[in-house]
Amino acid sequence: MRTTILAAAMLLLTVNVSAQLRLGDKNPKSKLHMAEMAITNLYVDSVDEGKLVEDAIRGMLEKLDPHSAYSTAKEVKAMNESLEGSFEGIGVQFNMMEDTLVVIQTITNGPSEKVGIIPGDRIVAVNDTAIAGVKMSKEEIMRRLRGPKGTKANLKIVRLGIKGQLPFTVVRDKIPVYSLDASYIIRPRTGYIRIGNFGATTYDEFMKALEKLQAQGIDDLIIDLQDNGGGYLQAAVNVINELLEKGDMIVYTNGRATPRHEYHADGGTHPFKGRIAVLVNEFSASASEILSGAIQDQDRGIIVGRRSFGKGLVQRPIEFADGSMIRLTVAHYYTPSGRCIQKPYIKGGQKDYAKDIDNRLKNGELMSADSIHFADSLKCFTLRQHRTVYGGGGIMPDYFVPLDTTKYTKFHRQLSAKSAIINANLKYIDDNRKKLKKQYSTFEDFNARYEVPQSFVDAVIAKGAEQDVKPKDDEELALTLPYLRTQLKALVARDLWDMNEYFQVMNETNDIVKKAIEVLASQH
């Protein structure tokens, strides 16, 4: 009897769903809803309804442009932290040495620094849970260290030279995430600012750095956007506003359902009037291209480097109640001369689109400007000097700098990929931090006198050999060593001071930076 009732119920459900499907089959939205309902209620095995809906959303977006995307609530949170300018946690920079968390730096005036945690400390337990020696993932460790502002993290710490474990109670707080990587005087009367991404705090960080450089009497400014993948359009607009004349167009957007919107400079608060060089490479995208396109089209400065990524699409965030989000392309953006710099794509062809940089390398575009070709139909002209510029594929620099493949060898790339460099650096810093701090009281002294010891280089090569990473021959090893030594010195500077000092070391071997310095100097 019970079996008969169940069978009848299932038959009724099947009939009802089938009837609703017939009623709604001319309406695409009803069709999608009914399909989901049918699968959830009638499919032979149980299904995860939430995942089913997420997969359907992803399936729809995959048939559109390469930049429309769906993100889970967890992915949205991680993405927002880098753009919103803060997260909540204990305020340490750390890395994993084997299976132990080692503090590299504490955030200045952050919660960990306030209670006395110092670089070199090992955090071995959080709230009575061991995190050392248990093969816990870095993501899981971060989850345990982070938490709402005001909550407590009870830490057990091992400090070199002190027996036993030291207890610390850290009250979590908001931890700033900076979008500027470096700012300093790179040459007499020439300032340098590197922007890592365009987030909510970028403009304030940029203005603070610019005003400091202006107070030091700069005539020229280098804005480094190498590897800057973009971020908020408005953040880029706000920065550009301080570089252009009042009334100059910065960018405009236009879409099928999104009316044209123009952004114009209003004269800024402390505008910079000197010479400008903007640095880009093949990974400079989106908001980076808005800035470099505006500077180029308004003939405000020079663009130095390699052709940028080519993302001329604007995404609108559409949030769901569970914290997940669609970033849907709603418009194209256009530089002041009318260029759309979006590179070609086929709807649904994300895999081919993702291979574009590899194809540029294979085709020689990263090594020679002559390998880059633009269609005459995409020709535009800058607004003051009427120089020829092109749309349809990124921002082509005024001064092309080829990628030097002899400097960054295959052996070096493999050492980096296998973490041989970072692991050897962690060990070196751990063993020598106190001695180095005592020997070099200032970065200027360190930069002038410090030389990477051969034992440090040997440790990197040994770490690589442990994973069967070896140079092809003596020639490849010889080509690798100069750049490797510079990188190791920069990593030591970073760990003793910060990213600002890292880039001060690395920029002296960066061909794009060096070219910008050369061109600006020639204009005096």
Number of neighbouring beta carbons within 10 Å of residue 70: 22
**Do 388 and 304 contact (CB within 8 A), yes or no?**
no
Number of neighbouring beta carbons within 10 Å of residue 361: 14
Catalytic residue chosen out of the listed positions 284, 292, 315, 324: 315
Would you call 36 exposed, middle or buried from its count of C-beta atoms within 10 A (0-12, 13-18, 19+)?
middle
Would you call 117 exposed, middle or buried from its count of C-beta atoms within 10 A (0-12, 13-18, 19+)?
buried
d(CA 246, CA 443): 40
Active-site residue, 179 included: no
**Do 212 and 183 contact (CB within 8 A), yes or no?**
yes
Q: Using CA of residue 332, residue 303, residue 236, residue 198, what is the dihedral sign?
A: positive
Catalytic residue chosen out of the listed positions 183, 226, 284, 286: 286
Task: Please list, in sequence order, all residues whose beta carbon lies within 8 angstroms of the beta carbon of residue 305, skipping any fewer than 6 positions away.
Answer: 226, 279, 280, 281, 284, 397, 399, 400, 401, 512
Active-site residue, 30 included: no
Question: Hey, which residues does 156 pair with through a beta bridge?
Answer: 125, 167
- The 3-state DSSP class for residue 6 equals helix
Task: Please list, in sequence order, all residues whose beta carbon lies within 8 angstroms of the beta carbon of residue 178, skipping any fewer than 6 positions away.
Answer: 85, 196, 201, 205
CA angle 496/498/502 to nearest 5° reads 95
d(CA 419, CA 223): 30
d(CA 302, CA 296): 7
Catalytic residue chosen out of the listed positions 68, 288, 311, 487: 311
Task: Please list, in sequence order, all residues whose beta carbon lies within 8 angstroms of the beta carbon of residue 77, skipping any fewer than 6 positions away.
Answer: 323
Question: Hey, which residues does 102 pair with through a beta bridge?
Answer: 95, 122
Angle subtended by helix axes 420-439 and 410-417, to nearest 10: 80
Backbone angles phi, psi at 181, to 5 degrees: -85, -35
**Do 225 and 290 contact (CB within 8 A), yes or no?**
no
What is the per-residue burial (b if ≥16 Cβ within 10 Å, else e) of 255-268?
Answer: beeeeeeebebeeb
- Where helices occur in 392-473 by DSSP H, the ranges are 410-417, 420-439, 443-449, 454-466
**How far, in Å, are 233, 234, 308, 314, 384 from residue 252 at the CA level?**
11, 12, 19, 11, 18
Active-site residue, 487 included: no
Backbone angles phi, psi at 499, to 5 degrees: -65, -30
Residues recognised as catalytic:
286, 311, 315
